[in-house]
Structure 1
C-alpha cells in the first residue's frame, strides 16, 4: 500500500469506504418473522395472578387485542383492572328475557363499556424452542417504556380446520384444583404476568365480525354444542376466616349445556342485546341451587360481557345487587367468520351488602383469566 508521509492515501481510504458500503448493501436483509400461525388478529386475556403470600393481593387482569404485522411488529389495545383499585360493577343492559329468567340489569366491570384503557407497541420473534416471544417497548403513543416487557407464549396452529391458532402461558391448562404451577419470572414473562390465553385468525376485529345473541341461541352452527375451557383464578383456600389464605386455583368454564337446549334454552331479551338463563342444580350452597346467568353485547368490536350469581343470594327479591361474578369477554372468530367462543377475565371486587361499596376484603375477590370455546379449538380439558 503506497503511503504519503506515513499516512494512507485519501484515495485509498475512499476506495475502502466504497468497498465496505457495497458489502453492506449486498448483504441479504433479514426476513421478518411470520405472523403466529399465519394469523394477524388476536383476542388475548392476560393476568398477573399469584398467591397472597407472594403478592399480597396485588392481582391484575388485562383483556384486549393483539395485532401482528408482516414487518415483525405487534400492537395491543386493552382494558385492564387491578385488585387494589377495587373496580366496581356497573349497569350495562336490562335483561328482559321472559320466562323464568329474572328481569335484572346485566352488569359489567367499570371501564369495559368505554374505549380501551391501555396498550403497547412492540416486536415479536420466535425462540429456538418455537415459542412466540413478544416484547413490548412503547406505549400506545409511541413513548418508550421504562423497561421492555417480554412474554413467552406456547403456540398451537391448525385449529378449527386451520382457521384459528392459540397462544397460552406455560401452565394455563392442567388439572382442576389447587395444584397450579405458577410460572417463575422469565418462564412466561419478565414482569408480573403469570397466566394468559389467546386465539387468533384473520377475521376483522370490528363489530361486524361479532356473533349476535340471537345467532348464539338460534343458529344451528352455534346453539347445539357446549363451550368449555379453563379458568385460572385467585380465591380463598376455605370458608373458615381463621385459617383461610389466598391461593390460585384452576377450574373449568362452561359445561355440557348448550345455548339452544330444547328443554331449557337461553332466552334472548327483547332488545336482542343480551340473553339470560336460569341454570338448574348448580353448586350454589343453598336449598335453592339455581344460578342466574346473563351474557350481553357491549360497546364495539368483539366485546361481550357475562354476569352470574346464585339465585338464593337475592333472598326472595328478583335481582341480586352485590357480589355477582362480572366477566368481560371477547369473541373468538375464525378465518371463515364463524363464532368459536370467548376469552375473558374476571375482576371481582367484594362489596358490603349493607352499602354496596368495596370493603377491601381482598381474600374474597376473584381475579382470573379464562377461555370458553368450542370443541373445534380443542381446549385441553382434564379427563
Structure 2
C-alpha cells in the first residue's frame, strides 16, 4: 500500500529496508497516541497531511494506525455543516463546519512496525516492497514544579527516512483508551478552562509558515447546544470583506470561533471566520459558507482520563462556492497543529 503520496518520485531514493518483528518497549511506557503529520513544500500543490490514532503493541513491536488524510490532489475535501448549532455563544448563530471526511470515522487502517532506542522512536509503514520511516523523540511532560508528569508523553518530530516526504508532526501518548474523551461541557470545567499553547506548521497560498499562539478557553462560553462552545474577538479585518456589520469597520471587526463535539468521541470540529464575510447590507448577517478556517482536532487524554489538549490539522481547501473545493490549490491553507498540553500540579 502506498501511503500519502509519501514516496519520492520515480528515480528518487527508496525507503528504509524492512525491520524484523521483535518485542519493543512501549514508547515512553504508553501504547495509545494521537498524531498529526504532514508534508509541506513551498510553491507546490502536492502537499498532504493526516491526523491519526496509533496503537503500539510491545509484545511484537507492531503499530496499528487509524487515520483521516487529505492532500491537494485527489484527496481534497469540502466544508460541511456539523449537526451542532453555535447559538448564544457569539454574535452569529451558525452551524459549526468541518471537513466532510472528518464527519465519519477514520478512513484507513494501516499496520507497521516500530523500534525504540532510548528516547528515539522510529515507525515503519509499508509502501509497496519498501517502508516509509517516521522518526520521533519521545519526551516527558513536566508538571508545574518541573517534576515529571507520569500520565502523558509527547512526541517531537525528528525527521523522515529517505523517500518519505513528511516534514512536520506533533503527537501525545498515554494508556487511556481511545474511547475516553471530554465533552464540550467538560471543556468548560475550571481545570480545563485555561490557555493552551498553540503551535502550527504548514503552508498557505504556496508559502511555508509556522508559529505559535494561544487557544484561550477562558474566553469561550457554552452554546445553547451543549455540544458546542464559542467566542468572538475583535481585530483588523483580513482580505475579502467589502461590507461590515453595524458598529464594525475594517480596523475593528469580529472573528467568530466555534468548537463542537460532533460524535461523542475525541473528535472536535474547530472553525473560525471573520463575521464581515457573511454580512451584506441587503440581506444582513448570514453564515459564511466558503473559505472559513476549518481545523479537525483529536483530543489528548492522559492516563487518568483527564483532558490535556489537542492535535489536529487545518484543512482549508480553496473554495469558489459552498460545497466545493474547486479553487486554485495554490490558495489552500494546510497545516498540522497542536494545542497544549495543559500542565498539571503535583
TM over 0.5: yes
Q: Which has the higher strand share?
A: 2
Q: Which has the higher helix share?
A: 1
Question: What is the deviation of 1:356?
Answer: 5.5
- Structure 2 spans left out of the alignment, 5+ residues: 1-20, 144-148, 240-249
Pairing 1:48–2:39 present = yes
Answer whether contact 2:90 2:230 (CA < 8 A) is retained: no
Give the one of 176, 183, 195 matched to 1:226. 195
Give the number of aligned pairs.
303
Aligned to 1:267: 221
Aligned to 1:109: 99
Aligned to 2:152: 164
Q: Using the alignment, how far apart are the partners of 1:319 and 1:50 within structure 2?
A: 33
Pairing 1:123–2:113 present = yes
Q: Using the alignment, how far apart are the partners of 1:153 and 1:211 within structure 2?
A: 27
TM-score of the pair, normalised by structure 2: 0.81
Aligned to 2:272: 308
Q: Using the alignment, how far apart are the partners of 2:57 and 2:236 within structure 1?
A: 44
Aligned to 1:80: 69
Max Rg structure: 1
Question: What is the deviation of 1:37?
Answer: 0.7
RMSD over aligned Cα atoms: 2.3
Aligned to 2:184: 213
- Residues 282 and 339 (structure 1 numbering): CA distance in 2 closer, same or farther, change over 3 Å? farther
Answer whether contact 1:97 1:275 (CA < 8 A) is retained: no
Answer whether contact 1:83 1:367 (CA < 8 A) is retained: no
SS at match of 2:101: coil
Give the one of 295, 302, 313 matched to 2:259. 295
Q: Using the alignment, how far apart are the partners of 1:267 and 1:213 within structure 2?
A: 10
Answer whether contact 1:67 1:75 (CA < 8 A) is retained: yes
Q: Using the alignment, how far apart are the partners of 1:275 and 1:330 within structure 2?
A: 16
TM-score of the pair, normalised by structure 1: 0.73
- Residues 320 and 155 (structure 1 numbering): CA distance in 2 closer, same or farther, change over 3 Å? same
Give the one of 297, 315, 335 matched to 1:368. 335
- Structure 1 spans left out of the alignment, 5+ residues: 1-29, 138-143, 171-182, 237-245, 378-383
TM-superposition CA deviations, 1:84-116 (whole Å, max 9, x none):
233111111242431533110111111111121
Question: What is the deviation of 1:319?
Answer: 1.4
Q: Using the alignment, how far apart are the partners of 2:22 and 2:130 within structure 1?
A: 26
